[in-house]
Structure 1
Amino acid sequence: MSEKLSARLKENTSRLDEILNLDTNFDIIRKGVQTGGRDACIYFIDGFLEESVMEKLLEFFYKLKPEELPMTAQQMAAHVVPYVEVSAMENLDEILKSLLSGVTCLFIDGYDACIGLDCRSYPMRSVDEPSKDKALRGSKDGFVETLVFNTALIRRRIRSTHLSMEIMTAGRTSRTDIVLCYMNERVDRKLLRELKGRISAIQVDSLTMNQESLAECIYERKWFNPFPKFKFTERPDTASAAILEGNIVILVDNSPQAMIVPTSIFDIIEEADDYYFPPVTGSYLRLSRFIIAIITLLLTPTFLLLYQNPDWIPKWLAFIVIKDTVNIPVVWQFLMLELAIDGLRLAAINTPSMLSTPLSVVAGIVLGQFTVDSGWFNAEIMMYMAFVAIANYTQSSYELGYALKFMRLILLVLTAAFNLWGYIAGIILTMTAIIGNKTVAGKSYIYPLFPLNLTQLKRRFLRMRLKE
């Protein structure tokens, strides 16, 4: 819509009233005012307006004398209005976008442009530490659903003129704001141009799922590979560190998470605690996370393989043999428990906080002692699955945790069906899914392992001392 404004106030207000459906929308408000002896009016969204600021601006407009009014709205915005964020808008589409984003729009009779007063105040929660992305040390603030506050949290940490925050819009109806954050002298320019091109080419009605919708729009290939292409974080310090390393951080309005690109599997496994502790402790935490990730993938398929081939079990591991009667095949016990654990996780999310403790106790008793006594599950199976369920939470990335879960399920099925050859095929399939994956930039998903860079590989596995 490239329609221009008229210089007559009545024509502009009648057109806007029609477009905005003012009689129906109670939260879109039009208020008539006078300034400099002329009729004027303001449009704003109830709930987005900083009332104390607006009161002072209205007091100024009421006191303005006719001789103090300039010839054009552009001069009015640039030299007369005593406020910082002021703009003059001539295009109706631009005005509607700004108004529906929360900008107060002032129309004055005789001006063929609207004066935008950005005195927005979005409803928001406090910048408390994220409930999921926690750290034992370090900052305790987190991103919120308001885009401007999220960019401010990053600016607070990177006080450099090289930091750029470029805003774009996607979604024909939602017109969701998207910000690309990067360091000018460190960013991959080819990736930046490609990302901007992909975002500009998005043809969807709205980003209904925020960053997930954006991720699916800008990277459409290989949907069947479960390993994540993006790293998500709610921590401003993690996002700032990624920007300083030359990555691009994508912020989406109404989402409390930042999306980091490009991302390899080593980037996803890293956490903030690796850097908030001394090098020895940070290295131990990082290596532990790598080892536990491998164990969660292989523990239950390996046990199933040994159960199917008891003569392979050495004497010093003879205690792992199931001693009780197996009423249900072991592979089905593992598969049922995998599903039951996800069911409990979903139930925990939807359980009111006041009921979470008693229901956890009941679930623990029922799925623990009673299921073993009734013969549905064997105690050894329950123990291994309990370790896997808890160890999955060592990964802060839900996407990586579920990718390992899907690979583990495939390994279990293949091992049950084809014994050793199925076990080997499952491991090869998992390695192929990881090695054959690519980052959004089209580079290796396992860099610096391939192509090999020993210096960077050492830094991925060990927490090195900070150098200049």
Structure 2
Amino acid sequence: MDVRSSHPLGQHSGSEETGNEEPEQSVQRQSIIPSRMEDVICRLKDEVGYKKSFDVVVREMTLGDTRTAFFMMNGLAKDIALTEVLKRLSYLHGENMTSDALHSFMNLYVPAVQVEPEEDWNKMMTNVLAGSTAMFIEGENRALIIDAKSFPARGPEEPSLERVVRGSRDGFVETLMVNVSLVRRRLRDPRARYEVVRVGERTQTDVCIAYIDDIADMELVESIRDKIKAVHIDGLPLADKQLEEATVRLGWSPFPLVRYSERPDVVASHLLEGNVAVFVDTTPSVMILPTTFFDLVQHVEENRQTPFIGTYLRWVRFLGILVSMFLLPLWFLYVLQPQLLPPNLSFIGPSKEGKIPLVLQFLLAEFGVDLMRMAAVHTPSPLATAMSLVSAILVGDIAVKSGLFINEVILYMAVSAIGMFATPSYELGLANRIVRLVLIVSVAIFKVPGFIVGITAILLLLCFQRSFNRPYLWPFIPFDAKALLNIIFRMPVLESKTRPNLLRPQQRDKMPTGNGRS
């Protein structure tokens, strides 16, 4: 057998042309599946820990007078399906087999839906570690990969961060195939594409790039694909968040440049708009690319109500977000310079000072809210209510009564916290909190100039942000009146006829014509 013919890329390197063939052939031999069963077993012991790791299973059998071995990972292989395969193969006799044993097993006797030959040892190993089963045949330099997987998984449940009053209650889970199926169920477009690449030298994590072929900007798809393939890292045990940092290049900016969603209906609607979705195995959240600041402040609940009610809910949410960022700094500014207040608002300001300076009260209150939030996340559910009572009533009440804090600080801090929790994007809510802290410190040091310069600096930061080469503040900067109107008002479905300019879709018109395609 020609060793070079089994190279996974089917190409010859320059070393063969110069006569230096030994190193190249040595590398190629390492990826060839041995034809002798003893060599296969020996290699499995060396590389994957067969007979050391309890979950590595090798089932050796003689089928049709041919020696075979099934290699799988216990817990990832679907034992019911494999038992049926073995049951069917156990009836084989020697006279049933042809001279090409692998061809016979693959095309005639292995009763599985997805079976394909594999000649590269490393690819075979990756498939088995991903849940497939490899069937080795004595005398063959290839193995059959049987796709019979069974992953430990929970059922689809409503996401805790994206709850709706009316609407579907299913959400993504930690299994990639289930997540793709949930979107396929809602988006039965034959032009929907789901490309899988593997990222991570050791984890070999499956990453799926989803888009609609005749809607999405193919330059955007190519850019996302290239960035993901260019990631060289040991692995992605933390899944999508690590992939985001490796591809988006956030740096030290607190603002998220990726929108996460755990709802299949949200992902399907964004695919129809022309966005690209990135699924990462082992995580229940999906990245939607590109995104803008105004994408992150919208919620699916607005589209589950009538346009009037949806618009009202959107305005209330916008007001809450603005309050969460600017209420405390503005109140603090008026306390420091009461002459700025108009006469009819002269009541604003504390009637008495606390024992701690106001700026320190603000910072301690901010850190206290963050501490309570983290404690709530790590507290078991039966104790969460008791923890909230202790934090909110005892700590807050005693702090005011002892004179350390004043009532107004606690009041405005609570209102700002509610506005932060009303932000649909958890990541954006945390970033807005940083904005509030920066403005409080700027006001404490520089007063009015600090407030103005702080807002200007944050606005400039947002202006220079880009998500996959798309402006982050679109449609405000650059200004797009029609798109901005669609953000301020929740338009009726039939009046929203075009896709956003930002995404540069191949088809601008949403309304099908004639045969169903524009």
* TM-score normalized with structure 2 length: 0.87
SS at match of 2:332: helix
Runs of 4+ in 1 over 6 A off after TM superposition: none
Which residue of 2 is the match for residue 336 of structure 1?
Answer: 364
CA offsets, 1:376-417, max 9 Å, x none? 110010000011112211112121111111111110011010
- 1:187 corresponds to: 216
- Rounded to whole Å, the distance in 2 between the matches of 1:207 and 1:367 is 40
8 Å CA contact retained: 2:331, 2:349 = no
2-structure distance, mates of 1:258, 1:312: 47
Report whether the alignment pairs 1:142 with 2:156.
Answer: no
> Helix, strand or coil: the match of 2:376?
helix
Contact 1:227 1:433 in 2 (8 A): no
Where in structure 2 are the equivalents of 1:350-389 lying within 5 Å? 350-389=378-417
Residue 452 of structure 1 corresponds to 479
Contact 2:89 2:109 in 1 (8 A): no
Q: Quote the residue 1:466 is aligned against.
A: 493
Structure 1 Cα separation of the partners of residues 151 and 459 of structure 2? 46
Separation of aligned partners in 2, 1:208 and 1:47: 19
Deviation at 1:452, TM superposition (A): 2.4
- The code of the aligned residue for 1:303 comes to W
Counterpart-to-counterpart distance in 1, 2:449 and 2:237: 44
Give the drift of 1:72.
4.5
Partners of 2:254 and 2:224 in 1: how far apart? 22
Counterpart AA for 2:484: L
Partner Cα distance (1:325, 1:219) in 2: 46
Please tell me whether the aligned partners of residues 333 and 377 of structure 1 are also in contact (alpha carbons under 8 angstroms).
yes
- What amino acid is aligned across from residue 451 of structure 1 in structure 2? P
Q: Do structure 1's residue 290 and structure 2's residue 318 form an aligned pair?
A: yes
Q: Which amino acid aligns with 1:452?
A: F
Gap regions ≥5 residues in structure 2: 1-26, 495-510, 512-518
AA aligned opposite 1:103: S
Measure how far apart 1:73 and its partner are.
2.0
Quick check: 32-41 or 255-264, which moved more?
A: 32-41
User: SS where residue 319 of structure 1 aligns?
Assistant: coil
User: One-letter code of the match for 1:90?
Assistant: E
Aligned to 2:129: 100
SS in 1 for 2:117: strand
Residue-pair matches, total:
466
Question: 2-side partners of 1:131 and 1:68: how far apart?
Answer: 57
Q: How far apart, in 2, do the equivalents of 1:83 and 1:13 lie? A: 24
Report the Cα distance in structure 1 between the residues aligned to 2:327 and 2:108, rounded to whole angstroms.
70
**Distance of 2:348 and 2:244 partners within structure 1:** 44
| Greater mean deviation of Cα atoms: 273-282 or 324-333 | 324-333
- In the alignment, structure 1 segments of 5+ residues that lack a partner are none
Q: Hey, what does 1:311 align to over in structure 2?
A: 339
Cross-structure match for 2:298: 270
Two-structure CA RMSD over aligned residues (Å): 1.4
CA distance in 2, matches of 1:235, 1:354: 27
Q: What secondary structure, in the 3-state scheme, does the structure 1 residue paired with 2:467 have?
A: coil
C-alpha distance in structure 2 between counterparts of 1:106 and 1:62, whole Å = 14
The separation in 1 between residues aligned to 2:53 and 2:80, in whole angstroms, is: 24
SS of residue in 2 equivalent to 1:106: strand
Partner of 1:178: 207
Q: Is the 8 A contact 2:320 2:418 kept in 1?
A: no
Q: For 1:406, which of 430, 434, 437 is the aligned residue?
A: 434
Q: Does 1:226 align with 2:226?
A: no
Where does residue 418 of structure 2 map in the other structure? 390
Match of 1:21 in 2: 49
CA distance in 2, matches of 1:307, 1:333: 13
Partner SS state of residue 67, structure 2: strand
Deviation at residue 231 of structure 1 after TM alignment? 0.1
**In structure 1, which of residues 16, 19, 36 is the aligned counterpart of residue 64 of structure 2?**
36
Measured against aligned partners, the alpha-carbon deviations of 1:435-457 in whole angstroms (never above 9, x if no partner) come to: 221112x1211212233222222
CA distance in 1 between counterparts of 2:207 and 2:107 reads 27
Q: Distance in 2 between matches of 1:294 and 1:69?
A: 74
Distance 2:207 2:320 in 1: 36
- Which residue of the partner structure matches residue 506 of structure 2? none
Between the aligned partners of 2:292 and 2:229, the Cα distance in structure 1 is 25
Query: How many angstroms apart in 2 are the aligned matches of 1:67 and 1:159?
Result: 46
Kept in 2, the 8 Å contact 1:50–1:120? The answer is yes
Which residue matches 1:423?
451
Instruction: Tell whether 2:150 aligns with 1:132.
Output: no
> What is the CA–CA distance in structure 2 between the aligned matches of 1:415 and 1:466, rounded to whole Å?
44
Contact 1:274 1:463 in 2 (8 A): yes
Query: Once the two structures are superposed, what CA deviation does each residue of 1:255-289 show, in whole Å capped at 9, x if it has no partner?
Result: 11000000011111111111111111111111222
Aligned equivalents of 1:9, 1:270: Cα separation in 2: 59
Contact 1:210 1:254 in 2 (8 A): yes
Residue of 103, 107, 116 corresponding to 2:145? 116
1:74 and 1:88 in contact (8 A); partners too:
no
Which amino acid is the alignment partner of residue 121 of structure 2? Answer: L
For 2:484 and 2:418, how far apart are their aligned partners in 1?
28
Residue 204 in structure 1 maps to residue 248 in structure 2: no
C-alpha distance in structure 1 between counterparts of 2:401 and 2:194, whole Å: 60
My pick for the range that moved more, 59-68 or 141-150, is 59-68
Q: Distance in 2 between matches of 1:288 and 1:145?
A: 33
Q: 2:220 is aligned with what amino acid? A: L
Paired residue for 2:466?
438
Q: 2:272 aligns with which of 244, 247, 252?
A: 244
State the distance in 1 between where 2:392 and 2:407 align.
14
Give the drift of 1:97. Answer: 0.3
Aligned to 1:345: 373
Q: TM-score, normalised by structure 1?
A: 0.97
Counterpart-to-counterpart distance in 2, 1:134 and 1:225: 28
**Conservation of the 8 A alpha-carbon contact between 2:302 and 2:311:** yes
